[in-house]
Amino acid sequence: MSDTITIKKPFDAHVHLRRGAVLRAVTHYTAERFSKAIVMPNTEPPIDTLDAAIEYKNEVLAAPGVGSFEPLMTLYLTKNLTPDEIARAAVGSDGTKIYGVKYYPYGATTNSQWGYKDILEAKETLSEMEKAGVPLLLHGEVHLNEHGKEEDPYDGEKLFIGDVLPRLLEQFPSLKVSLEHMSSATECDFIEKNGEEGRLVATVTPTHLMYDRTQAFAGGYHTLYHMKPLVKRSEDKERVRDIATKGLPFVSAGTDSAPHPEGKKFSSCCVFGAFNSPAAVELYAQVFEEMNALDNLETFLSLNGPKFYGVEPSEETVTLEKKDWQLAEPVVTEENVKLWPMFTGETLHWHLTQ
């Protein structure tokens, strides 16, 4: 096996860049590794208008080290997001259009307080999205049941796949759908059977490829990969690794990199979100090597995502070198806030060289 890999510069189909000082501290890590990224809208306040998305995009482009990186903007599926705004956002303004609308179940994860409890309540907005060709990006979990009671967080995806997603696909047969951050065998089975290029796709994070819940509660830095959806059993992890590395045209990389301040991440009830962008491509390469699937790495990282979103793959390339290294220190913002990557203290086996 060669000690280097050169591939088209990857595409991140799911990243959180935050705002302000955190954004300025972390964006260059994504820009170094990815040509484009689908930027999530669950900031505070949420991004649920085209004007807000344009403002946010300009903030991203003003961050240090952005270079040729292109942020592709999304809207948050709140009750304030109207069909008229979808129609406007699909056309775009000032060189910015919207590439997707993200659904967060109410109360399920970071800044999800503006989401619908039941996505099918948003039928008029979903209908306009279907008409305009704007993809729906799903955080596919049931958090609250019909009685307003919280479901077991380890069952949230299974409940969504078993009930909500089939009804959604039936009611909106032409709606483009991306099932984000697959973490369970149930999801993988559904996507492998029903996935369709350009219609129903899925993304996979480095976190769910690398960890299971025994590791997540093993102490030390375990809170760094506490995220939603939760990492699950080892058999779920193995199923996610299997589907990600097969070279399927409807499965792609979405890091879900999500930085949080040290004080929140190491609290007694730590926040959801795993910050992985400082080595996201390297982590994917490590897993694909372990699965003897490096031949499929470029398809997963660089080709499938652009195809779904209707953009061209990058003409740039990146090279990875087989080389052990560690990151032992946090990223520190200009306000002296520490942001710890999820792989802190671990030995990684691939290193980005250019």
Read off the pLDDT band of 140 (50, 70, 90): confident
Pick the closest to residue 182 from 106, 239, 101 (CA basis). 239
Peptide bond connecting 229 to the previous residue in cis, omega within 30 degrees of 0: yes
- In the annotation, is 324 catalytic? no
What are the structural domains, with CATH classification, of the chain? 4-352 (3.20.20.140)
Q: How far is CA 204 from CA 163, 165, 187, 191, 253, in A?
A: 22, 18, 11, 12, 5
Looking at residue 220, what is its pLDDT? 53
pLDDT digits (tens, 9 = 90+) for 295-306: 999 999 999 999
Looking at this protein, which amino acid is placed at residue 210? Answer: M
Cα–Cα distance, 104 to 109 (Å, whole number): 8
Q: Which of 163, 212, 256, 295 is catalytic?
A: 256
CA proximity to 19, closest of 51, 48, 44: 44
Higher pLDDT, 55 or 260: 55
Amino acid at 123: K
Mean of all residue pLDDT scores within the chain? 91
CA torsion sign, 129 to 130 to 135 to 137? positive
* Cβ–Cβ under 8 Å, residues 82 and 113: no
223: left (phi over 0), alpha (psi -120 to 50) or beta: alpha
Give the pLDDT mean for 245-264: 94
Strand pairing category for 317-325 and 4-8: antiparallel
| Cα separation values, 134 from 29, 70, 123, 177, Å | 28, 19, 14, 9
pLDDT of residue 222: 60
Q: What's the pLDDT tens digit per position in 78-112?
A: 999 999 999 999 999 989 999 999 998 866 566 66
Query: Tell me, what's the pLDDT at 268?
Result: 60
Provide the b/e sequence for 55-92 (b: ≥16 CB within 10 Å). Answer: ebbebbeebeebeebbbbbbbbbbeebebebbebbbee
- Fill in the DSSP letter of residue 115: B
Tell me the torsion sign for CA atoms 231, 233, 237, 240: negative
Which two tokens mark 41? 């809208």
> Does position 27 have pLDDT exceeding 90, yes or no?
yes
| C-alpha pair distances (Å), 244 with each of 19, 74, 298 | 30, 24, 12
pLDDT at res. 98: 97
Q: What's the pTM value of the predicted model, to 2 decimals?
A: 0.94
Residue position matching structure tokens 């980005």: 352
Q: Is 139 left (phi over 0), alpha (psi -120 to 50) or beta?
A: beta
Neighbours of 236 (CB within 10 A): 24
Phi and psi at residue 48, to the nearest 5°: -130, 20
Contact indicator for 73, 98 with CB cutoff of 8 Å:
yes
